Structure 1
Amino acid sequence: MALVLETGYTSINKKGEELCGDNVEMVVTPDGHTTLVLADGMGSGVKANILSTLTSKILCTMVSNDIDIYECVETIIQSLPVCKERGLAYSTFSVIHVDKTGKGYLIEFDNPEAIYMHGGKCVELGREKLEVLDKTVYKSDLSLEENDILMIMSDGTIHAGIGMLLNFGWQRDEIKEFLDTHVRPGMSARCAAWLLVDACNDFYVGEPGDDTTVAAVRVREEEKINIMVGPPLDKSRDDFYVARFMKDCDKKIVCGGTSSQIVARYLGKEVSTSLEFIDKEIPPIGYIDGIDLTTEGVITLRKLCELSDKYLSVSDLSPKEFTSAKDGAGMLAQLLFEEATSVTFFVGQSVNVAHQGLPIDTTMKLKLVETLSKNLIKMGKTVTVNYD
């Protein structure tokens, strides 16, 4: 099965600051190379934000165009505006540049050393010391394997808890021990980044003393998921519609009562429904042999869209994994947000007679699918929508 590269990051601001002094930029080129840059501007607030934004955007553009790293660093040093108070122009940075199979390099300047997870455990990367205009920069060659995770971070991570719960901050070895214990197999890059920042926020007791950002890349197997939402306009095409839905995927999801009946009839199976209301706002799930998840339609999809907005927010610290979810929306989120790399929607546009007299119509369903599709694309998924 093909390998793909996924990315994600989480960032929280220093207490009392509206703008973050860290910035993350990413570019994916047509040939499949990903460039991810995390920059940390000197200080905090507006000035730091300007420095980190300029640094990350310039580096991301230059590195993604294969410009020599010496020239990239020289450009940054000569381009940043000088602070009138300190007389300095300074921003740290970490740069990951890899192809979709994980081969490439890592460049680091004054950020905490990146953490590399291989085989579920943190291991050390080899580092080459480079001197550029009297600045020390480190380069590591990368050859990431399946399920490897590489994390880059700002110094808010190692400063977590200083003067609060920890005397000397959160040391690198302690961070590695935490990740060894808490990063589970199959966890996405976005979820791994959230996990570390959330722990830092706990050490800060919810009042960060510094901007704290973690960005991660992960190499993983491709996973294709098909999701059927609603019956087709032409009832005579039910079997054709379901036959397409059942092909070329790793997992299958059916949303909606009528859709469930159509799929069950095609498969020669029965639909059974759970009577357990895990969440009073979300209808129970159903079961069909041969289908990975069966849920109610519009109400569950509306809740899923809310979860997708939170999942995408880089500053939202609500959980980014849903492995323990038992309700339809949470289980959908786990499959679509955490596990899928590509999602194909099969959207039926028939009017559901069960919705007559209710504030639910086909237009609402289509809008929910459109919103969800856009958010999945923002998550880095490949999305296809088929209407019937």
Structure 2
Amino acid sequence: MLKKNRPYVDIASYSLNKKNEELCGDKIEIFQSEQNTIIVLADGLGSGVKANILATLTTKIALTMLKKGESLEETIDTVMNTLPVCQVRQIAYSTFGIIKIDKDLNCTVIEYDNPPIFFVRDKALVNFKKEERYYGGKKVLLSSFPLLEGDFITLTSDGVIHAGVGNILNHGWEWSHVSEFLCKQDLVSADQITRRLIDTCNCLYGNQPGDDTSAVTVKIRRPKIVNIFSGPPENPSLDKHYTHRFMNLEGSKIICGGTTANIFSRELKRELKTSLDYTDPTIPPIAELEGFDLVTEGVLTLKRVLDLLKKSKNEKMDDAVFKKDGASRLYKILLDESTHLQFWIGNSINPAHQNPDFPQELSIKVNVIKEITEELKKYNKQISLKYI
């Protein structure tokens, strides 16, 4: 599942629709494979349906060609000659930025009329050479540079640098101000960086964005493996076997489930200390067991984590991640701290979950975990499931 000692390319993106618009005029497409990471952000002229269609056309053409191995030159030429030009304003109907990173972390960036990318290393902006090229009479900027662990690149639409114009700020949140903001961020994940940037833009707009506003961040991180054991093995005679196999895994270790925690306590001969502190009355308290980063109750806690993940793409979640209940702590580990996740799922059925008086949505733990993994895949997490 994990290639040891190989940096992880962490990616996250967020968008705000222009006020009163159902569709975003920006479009972001992301592709990752063993060989390449490709990101395309396009900003359609104007807003609404027309802008969305034009931005989608741009991202689909670029990503499809690059995925199929076409050269950057051929891809750019095709995109530039496909995009129509506004006859009134004499500008293309869509601007775009492309980031391509190979397996050796060599990065190539293509920029066409989008705000210049932000390249941050050690809390300082990195200056790099940009080569001007012309396709169909239109200027495109091309640059290449190697990336190191800890570096991050943020690509935005112009809604970011226009944030607050005519409202809080006279001239908007200018590029230099955004770069200062990003250089101050001491955050672990691409998701945290991008979310904070977009949340700040939304505040500057007074929660009524005057333009479609999008950002995507790529951060080169050291891999962080998180192993989660939930539910007793189907065959109780194998409790000892799986307990010791799990303890030998590389990375952080988490237990979700009271019965599971008791099995580990028994097999490892370590005391399980259960807290009586209900920081949230709707979430069972956590426990402590030597060798584990977190021990929580099972289905109720997992269901709350799922709810938080479903909300997190559309709502500001800062308050949630600072709570101390088991669900909030697990949510923060899964979303912000992990890059690779391995779930060990016990197939033994908890009789309580089959009780007809028990809430129906909690009846099958496995389905809850599957839904959690589907949500986490939206954040480009590397996930494996092991049923025992």
Sequence identity (%): 39
Which SS does the other structure have where 2:161 is aligned?
coil
Q: Which residue is 2:17 aligned to? A: 13
C-alpha distance in structure 2 between counterparts of 1:328 and 1:89, whole Å: 50
**Alignment of structure 1 residues 195-344 onto 2, 5 Å:** 195-311=196-312, 313=313, 316-319=314-317, 324-344=322-342
SS of the counterpart of 1:156?
Answer: helix
Matches within 5 A, 1:72-221: 72-81=75-84, 89-181=92-184, 183-186=185-188, 188-221=189-222
Separation (CA, whole Å) in 2 of partners of 1:254 and 1:368: 15
Q: CA RMSD in A?
A: 2.1
Pairwise CA distance, 1:247: 2.4
Distance in 2 separating the partners of 1:323 and 1:317: 13
TM-score by length of 1: 0.92
For 2:310 and 2:216, the matched residues in 1 are separated by 19
Q: Which amino acid aligns with 1:242?
A: T
Look up the SS of the partner of 2:99 in the other structure.
Answer: strand
Deviation at 1:360, TM superposition (A): 6.0
Conserved? CA contact 1:18–1:45, under 8 Å: yes
Report Cα offsets for 1:137-189 as digits up to 9, x if no partner: 111213111121100000001111111000001111111222223x2242x11
Query: How far off is 1:114 after superposition?
Result: 0.4
Closer/same/farther in 2, CA of residues 54 and 8 from structure 1, 3 Å limit: same
1:57 counterpart residue number = 60
Query: Is contact 2:193-2:217 (8 Å) kept?
Result: yes
What amino acid maps onto 2:253 in structure 1? K
Query: Whole-Å Cα distance in 2 between the matches of residues 278 and 100 of structure 1?
Result: 44
1:267-311 CA-to-partner distances (Å, cap 9, x unmatched) read 221111222211121111110011110001000000011112223
For the 8 Å contact 1:194–1:317, the answer to whether it is kept is: no
Instruction: Report the CA distance between 1:351 and its aligned residue.
Output: 2.7
SS in structure 1 opposite 2:160?
coil
Moved more, 61-70 or 288-297: 61-70
Q: Tell me, in whole angstroms, the C-alpha distance in 2 between the residues paired with 1:94 and 1:257.
A: 49
Counterparts of 1:369 and 1:145, CA distance in 2? 34
Q: Does the C-alpha gap of structure 1 residues 356 and 370 become closer, same or farther in structure 2, counting only changes over 3 Å?
A: closer
Cα separation, partners in 2 of 1:103 and 1:320, compared to 1, 3 Å: farther
Task: For 2:9 and 2:241, locate their aligned partners in 1 and report how far apart those are by CA, in whole Å.
Answer: 34
Match of 1:359 in 2: 358
In the alignment, residue 54 of structure 2 is paired with which amino acid?
A: L
CA contact (8 A) 1:51 1:81 kept: no
In 2 relative to 1, CA 120–250 (structure 1 residues): closer, same or farther, beyond 3 Å? farther
Structure 1 residues 331 and 101: alpha-carbon distance in aligned structure 2, compared to 1, 3 A threshold: farther
- Work out whether residues 157 and 170 of structure 1, in 8 Å CA contact, stay in contact via their aligned partners in 2: yes
Aligned length, in residue pairs: 382
Is the CA contact 2:80–2:135 (under 8 Å) kept in the aligned structure 1? no
Report deviation, 1:82.
Answer: 5.7
Residues in 1 aligned to 2:364 and 2:353: alpha-carbon distance in whole angstroms: 11
Q: Within 2, Cα distance between the matches of 1:100 and 1:22?
A: 28
Equivalent residues of 1:4, 1:101 under 8 A apart: no
| Cα separation, 2, equivalents of 1:378 and 1:10 | 11
Q: Which runs of 5+ in 1 are unaligned?
A: none
Letter in 2 for 1:80: L
- Partner residue in 2 for 1:379: 379
Equivalent in the alignment of 1:69 = 72
Change in CA separation of 1:235 and 1:375 when aligned onto 2, cut-off 3 Å: same
Note the alpha carbon deviations across 1:318-374, whole angstroms, 9 max, x for none.
Answer: 136965331111111121121222211111122335557451688510111111122
Q: Which amino acid aligns with 2:227?
A: N
Alignment partner of 2:239: what SS?
helix
- Residue 346 of structure 2 is matched in structure 1 by 348
AA matched with 2:310: D
In structure 2, how many angstroms separate the alpha carbons of the residues matched to 1:308 and 1:142? 34
Q: Is the 8 A contact 2:353 2:364 kept in 1?
A: no
- Quote the offset at 1:83 in angstroms: 5.7
